[in-house]
Chain A
Amino acid sequence: MNAADGQLAKPLLSLDKVTTYYAQMRILEGISLQVGAGELVCLLGGNASGKSTTLKTILGLVRPRAGRVLFAGEDVTAWPVPQRIANGVAIVPENRRLFGTMTVRENLELGAVLRDAGTYDADFERVYTLFPRLHERRDQLAGTLSGGEQQMVAMGRALMSRPRLLLMDEPSMGLSPALVQQNFRIIKEVHESGVAVLMVEQNATMALSIADRGYVLSTGEIVLSGSAAELLRSEDLKRAYLGR
């Protein structure tokens, strides 16, 4: 599980030498990474290192020009986004991206948009148990919530699709330090309920403190990988952040 070379016996998600362009701009160059079932992996890196693009490639919003994306043993490289979501991937986007003019309940419902109405009562239950605050606020417009509450809605919305792998893009961005703490507790809680998490973060120490393993991206390439404990000790991590 925590092999130092990052090779897992049977990974849930596996990127195999993925190269991605954004219009004319090359963002990722031969990325290979794995996330095992139930693992919490973080993806670190400075600005414009390609972290968000990696997540978008996994979700299918961006198609790689080369390489393969494998999920639960299947090659999903050519799959459209809805099919991947139905297969068990979900994302909590950067800045949360809630539908501000819709109620909390409607936001959550949209998380399960791919399933028929009436099949998600249990999911509501699960989200409301995890975030009791959302139950209180269910008829309030999402745009009027506080930053912490919005983060809860964003996570709840992603959980509504019953993901096996949760992608998190910069969950602590724009939150106060106290909320960041709380946020990481929630992520850990979600993770402990059996969902694998791939988290993109700039706050390396914080992320590694709850993660199993980590990868470090720099200008589109993975420059460092290993267990969280190793990375925390590593001098190379600091160097990777400061640039080569």
Chain B
Amino acid sequence: MHFFIQELVNGLTQGSLYALIALGYSMVYGVLKLLNFAHGDLYMVGAFIGYFVIQWFGGPMALSVPVPLVLLVMFVLAGGGVGMLGVAIERFAYRPLRDAPRIAPLITALGVAFLLENTMLLLFGASYRDYNTSAFISFSTGIHIGPLNVDIVRIMVIVLSIVLMFALTVIVNRTKLGRQMRAVASDREAAEMLGINVDYTIAATFFLGSALAGIAGVMAGLVFNQIYTLMGFVAGLKAFTAAVVGGIGSIPGAMLGGMLIGIAESFVTGYISSTYTNLIVFGILIAVMLARPTGLLGRVPLQKV
């Protein structure tokens, strides 16, 4: 039972990360109908920004400022920086292709992902880098009930993810920007006819979605310590499927999908075998996509033929 709960917590942690990435996928897919393959790499860039913030403050062993401030700077810089990167990618790679056949931006997205990965490889090399979180955040704090340990970092990741998702829900459902985003997602041309600034709305969507991926990258660094330039692609794939499993375009769907995939992965690793984790998770994903392409919380689009 303890093992079960432990694995559940691991799954929730991993799932929170997937959910955050999935939200960005889902939002971008909503407004552009584009599967942004580069999104997973934005998560990787976020992880690197967090790493350099730690180094900048003196390294994990000898931080020159209090830990909460370091965390704040990491999240703000990773979120803001990756958000801007996402906006730039949209502006220069995807915007010229907005009216092209659907396959063109998809292939461009593959190119952007490849370019981003290899630029990072050129700049920072292929070696693994270590956040060394335990040097500045004590893993022994947290919740301990008998043999069950839930450390403070995991708690923070799960709580912060839920807060971010809640904030995003409010933005999308309650604010003017959110209404404009939904309008653009629903019918871009009609939105334009009402005077909605479509370019701005799409850029804002990219900013929000990419910022979430950047923050997820920092979280990944804090929880799993090791970061490397190729960490983004597979994480991005799984997150996209999380978005699909939950129902693309739906925020609660992305959360649910992310959590489910995280938990499934964690249980497969815990109860079956870590060698087969990816294989089994891929299998589950293929099965879900075949059985219910609109996702668990997705609506069948009202499509006119």
> Is there any pair of Cβ atoms, one from A and one from B, under 8 angstroms apart in the complex?
yes
Interface pair A97/B189, CB less than 8 Å apart: yes
- Main SS of chain B's interface residues? helix
Indicate if A106 sits at the interface (CB-CB under 8 A): yes
Indicate if B180 sits at the interface (CB-CB under 8 A): yes
Interface pair B182/A102, CB less than 8 Å apart: yes
Total of A-B residue pairs, C-beta within 8 Å: 63
Indicate if A50 sits at the interface (CB-CB under 8 A): no
Which among B80-88, B193-201, B216-224, B282-290 touches the partner chain? B193-201
Contact of B196 among A97, A106, A110, A143 (CB under 8 A): A110
Interface pair B194/A102, CB less than 8 Å apart: no
Chain A residues near B195 (CB-CB < 8 A)? 81-82, 84-86, 113-114, 161
Interface pair B197/A91, CB less than 8 Å apart: no
- Determine how close the nearest CB of chain B comes to the CB of A170; give it in whole angstroms: 14
**How many chain B residues touch the partner (CB < 8 A)?**
18
Contact of A59 among B180, B187, B193 (CB under 8 A): B193
A82 and B190 in contact (CB under 8 A), knowing A101-B299, A102-B182, A110-B179?
Answer: no
Residue of A nearest to B178 (CB): A106
**Within B190-216, which residues are at the interface with A (CB < 8 Å)?**
190-197
For the complex, give the distance between the alpha carbons of A32 and B176 in Å. 38
Contact of B194 among A117, A143, A157 (CB under 8 A): A157
- Determine how close the nearest CB of chain A comes to the CB of B178; give it in whole angstroms: 10
For the complex, give the distance between the alpha carbons of A111 and B190 in Å. 10
For the complex, give the distance between the alpha carbons of A190 and B193 in Å. 20
- Determine how close the nearest CB of chain B comes to the CB of A103; give it in whole angstroms: 10
Interface pair B186/A99, CB less than 8 Å apart: yes
Interface pair A100/B194, CB less than 8 Å apart: no
Q: Which one of B182, B187, B195, B196 has the greatest number of beta carbons of chain A within 10 Å? A: B195
- Determine how close the nearest CB of chain B comes to the CB of A76; give it in whole angstroms: 13
Interface pairs (24), CB distance under 8 Å: A59-B193, A61-B189, A61-B193, A85-B194, A86-B195, A93-B189, A97-B187, A99-B183, A100-B302, A102-B179, A102-B182, A102-B183, A106-B179, A110-B180, A110-B191, A110-B196, A111-B194, A113-B176, A113-B180, A113-B194, A113-B195, A114-B195, A117-B176, A161-B195
Question: Given A101-B299, A102-B186, list of 11 further CB < 8 A pairs?
Answer: A81-B192, A82-B195, A93-B193, A97-B189, A98-B187, A99-B182, A99-B191, A106-B182, A110-B179, A113-B179, A113-B195
A residues at B contact (CB < 8 Å):
59, 61, 81-82, 84-86, 91, 93, 97-102, 106, 109-111, 113-114, 117, 143, 157, 161
